[in-house]
Structure 1
């Protein structure tokens, strides 16, 4: 019986997928931020979303 593959365990599973369109200007802002911080686009976007929490 084949075993089910498991990914890395996490306390914060990412079950929702978003597909968005952004302008070249916004993509440049995101890419510049990611290059400066060494993060990938998804994490940069998540940080931006989290920054909206207290606004």
Structure 2
């Protein structure tokens, strides 16, 4: 029996991993957004997902 990996405790675990491929234009848009907002790509993608929630 292997021991469970222990990490830093969190109130917002993120067990799901998302991976995608994008073209040069989409990547440039993402990079520009990250640079302007001083965010990581992960934070920018989360912003996009949260923006989808508001679309009806």
Q: TM-score range by the shorter chain?
A: 0.7 to 0.9
The size of the alignment, in residue pairs, is 52
Task: Indicate the residue corresponding to 2:32 in structure 1.
Answer: 32
* Bigger relative contact order (CA 8 A; separation at least 6): 1
For structure 1, list consecutive stretches of 5 or more residues without a partner in the other structure.
none
TM-score relative to the length of structure 1? 0.80
Distance 1:27 1:44 in 2: 12
Give CA-to-partner distance per residue, 1:9-53, whole Å, 9 cap, x none: 322211100111111111111110000111100000000010000
TM-score relative to the length of structure 2? 0.79
| CA RMSD between the two structures | 1.6
For structure 2, list consecutive stretches of 5 or more residues without a partner in the other structure.
none
Q: Once the 2 structures are TM-superposed, how far is the Cα of residue 5 of structure 1 from its aligned partner?
A: 3.8
Runs of at least 4 residues off by over 4 Å: none
